Amino acid sequence: MEFDNNIPIYIQVINDIKKDIITGDLALGAKLPSGRDLALKYKINPNTANRIYNELELAQLCFTKRGIGTYVTLDVEKIKCIREEMANSLLNNFMEGMKNLGFSKEEIIKIIQKQVV
Amino acid sequence: MIVQCKDLVKKYISKTAVNGVSLELDEGKIYAILGPNGSGKTTFMKMVAGLVKPSSGTITYKGMPIGVESKKKVAYMSTEPFFYNYMTVADVGTYYEDFFEDFSMERYKELIGRMDLNMKDKAKDLSSGLAAKLKIAATLARKAELYLLDEPLNGIDIIARDKIITTILEEARENSTILLSSHLVDELEKIIDHVIYIKNGSLELIGNAEELRAARGKSIVEIYKEIYA
């Protein structure tokens, strides 16, 4: 995974994990690597790895069974929510970029229609 | 808190290498000490390692003065090779095993394999890159409380640098602390907890890497360029 070192690392890894959950690469209820293994997988600091799991847990995307491990949520609705959130984020960036180039709403719609065909 | 120093100074006749540094190192964290050549990083590390005595100021290891007891728990890796030319790679392992209680021969063998070194290689025949890898293997085969690594990536090829970073991460436990210095800052970005910028022997900035990124929208490298430009 390519990192942008100008923004916090933990945010980028969280987004990568969210993506895997949304696409199903990480299945509902799947066991996630331990904090240490996550650190080694992404080659990041172990404290950052712990923070990532804390944040994911706060967002209710995973839960920890003490002494056993961390698992992806079983809540399908939650995952739908995150999927929409990420889609909106992409869209907002796209819209802003297009507006900065001077595209009108009608032009944008036409371009998208062409793309989607 | 594992290391604490207050107004630490080291003066030589021709220059002041460390000019009143006060800071604390906490357990379980990875610190990077950064700065241009001659800024005082190595002198600072050597004072923590007990190889150089401060001119003034205090420095303690777990509340005790630096000395024989702290040296047992501290693994210092200097920029120069530190094994005798007559030794083979295997000899270096045995030598370290004799010297340090916390040395693991098993781990050493594993790391030697990982670095593509051979137990029968003679130290004097090693290229500078291989000698650098041998230094790392010997140092990280110790289960120390504090690792002080001075330029651990120097002279090492890209693939091996990656392996060394992985090895450093493997030694990063809750009860171990790592302080490293390097000019290859961007390769260390992801593994650092806190960064210490030294300028002309003084502490210029110390902070948590992620917090600095969030607050400034800049990488450790970009902040470095700002400070020293």
Tokens 């990077």 -> residue:
B32
Q: Are the Cβ atoms of B166 and A45 closer than 8 angstroms?
A: no
Interface predicted TM-score (ipTM) of this complex, two decimals: 0.87
Of residues B58, B62, B144, B55, the one with CA closest to residue B96: B144
Going residue by residue through chain A (117 aa), what tens digit of pLDDT does each one get? Answer: 889 999 999 999 999 999 999 999 999 999 999 999 999 999 999 999 999 999 999 999 999 998 899 999 999 999 999 999 999 999 999 999 999 999 998 999 999 999 887
Q: Give the rounded distance of the alpha carbon of B139 from its chain centre.
A: 10
A95 in a domain, yes or no?
Answer: yes
- Residue spans of alpha helices (H) in A24-75: 35-42, 46-58
Q: Domains in chain B, start-ordered, CATH in brackets?
A: 3-228 (3.40.50.300)
Residues contacting B11, CB < 8 A, separation 6+: B17, B55
| Judgement on whether residues A54 and A81 belong to the same structural domain of the protein | no
Q: Are the Cβ atoms of B219 and A5 closer than 8 angstroms?
A: yes
Which of A10, A38, A47, A54 best probes binding to B when mutated, by most B CB atoms within 10 angstroms? Answer: A47
Of residues B142, B203, B198, the one with CA closest to residue B168: B142
A96 in a domain, yes or no?
Answer: yes
What is the CATH number for A70?
1.10.10.10
Of residues B102, B166, B174, B177, the one with CA closest to residue B138: B102
* Per-residue b or e along B59-83, where b marks 16 or more CB atoms closer than 10 Å to that residue's CB: bbbeeeebeeebeebbbbbbbebeb
A3 in a domain, yes or no?
Answer: no
Q: Tokens at residue B63, please?
A: 């509340």
Q: Which residues of B touch A10 (CB under 8 A)?
A: 210
Number of domains in chain A: 2
Q: What is the pTM of this model?
A: 0.91
| Judgement on whether residues A22 and A69 belong to the same structural domain of the protein | yes
Q: Are the Cβ atoms of B29 and A47 closer than 8 angstroms?
A: yes
Q: Tokens at residue A39, please?
A: 């650190």
Q: How confident is the model at residue B7 (pLDDT cuts 50, 70, 90)?
A: very high
Q: Tell me the nearest-neighbour CA distance from B217 into chain A, angstroms.
A: 5
Residue of B nearest to A35 (CA): B173
Give the structural domain span for A69: 9-74
Asked if B213 is an interface residue toward chain A (Cβ–Cβ < 8 A), one would say yes
Which of A1, A2, A4, A6 best probes binding to B when mutated, by most B CB atoms within 10 angstroms? Answer: A6
Question: pLDDT tens digit string along B70-119?
Answer: 999 999 999 988 888 899 999 999 999 999 999 999 999 999 999 999 99
Of residues B140, B184, B130, B183, the one with CA closest to residue B164: B140
CA-CA distance, A16 to B25, in Å (whole number)?
Answer: 31
